[in-house]
Amino acid sequence: MTNSQSDDRSQARPMPTEPFGSTGHRSSRVLFGAAALGSMSPERAETTLSQLIPAGVNHIDTAASYGDSEDRLKPFLADHRSDFFLATKTGDRSGETARASLERSLERMGVDSVDLIQLHNLVEDDEWAEAFGFGGAVEALVNARSEGLCRFIGVTGHGVRIPGMHLRSLAEFEFDSVLFPFNFSMMSLPTYRADVQALVSLCQDRGVALQTIKSIARRRWLSDGPKFAWYEPLTEPDAIANAVSYVLGHDTGGGQRLFVNSSSDARLLPLIVEAARAHTKAPSHETLVADQNRLDITPLFDGKELERI
């Protein structure tokens, strides 16, 4: 089979979908990471967003802190709100500021409600205590849910500590989704892998949606120059295909599947979409090790630097 024939077959396949936890929505396995819109011009954002429906992407994930992302989504959502599961995030921990953040996000996007509001990067002990305390963000978001401003509540995070913190958060509150880093290099860290496995197992039992980030991360930047993501992503089509298939083909041991948030480098969106469409099974361990060695792929997080990003 020639490469062009292979590409034609992958493009002919639909984007796979799976139940997004217990929300009742079947989300595309690739979620559009709208951090990519953060510093885009309106024209470039329009061009990027125009790819989503033809690609079969039906889930958008943004955040209050993603620059102009929510503003860039507004004209698109005016015409296509019903076509997408819409998620945003707040980094605020007090109830008053979290509520204000959500209301501001709704205004920026020109919508009456979001499907999912998430506590953004909830990893530090003091912030966790404030969010779950009396008058904290969790209480405020529950109230917002009862008022119809959101339908579901999730929690996200970065760094090696976050799977363990998600377990702590899930012991305190019935979140509908979690988000965490997941790629071959990170999962090669024994402690991180054990925490992820425990988290996945609990989410399987509870029907909590499992979102992943940094699937195509290569390493931290080693050079200067234009950057469209805070980390250096993979750019080779075959390596991206292997990285995406590693996530999509991961055996979670139950009915829940992992979702891939696309990179903040929007130039890579077509390759991520193509990889998801062409996916049939996870690549072999040997293939992933070969990519890791050849491309010098290393974990982004080490428990020290960059844990708050």
Q: Which of 196, 117, 100 is nearest to 152 (CA)?
A: 117
Please give the structure tokens belonging to residue 94: 């007090």
Catalytic residue flag (residue 192) = no
Provide Rg for the chain, Cα atoms.
18
Confirm if 154 and 209 have CB atoms less than 8 A apart. Answer: yes
Q: Which of 114, 144, 126 is nearest to 23 (CA)?
A: 114
Rounded-to-integer distance, Cα 305 and Cα 309, Å: 9
| Residue recorded with tokens 């090696």 | 160
| Residue recorded with tokens 């955040």 | 63
Q: DSSP for 97-121?
A: HHHHHHHHHHHHHT-S-EEEEEETT
- Number of neighbouring beta carbons within 10 Å of residue 285: 10
Angle at 90 between CA 86 and CA 96, to 5 degrees: 125
Residues carrying an active site annotation: 66
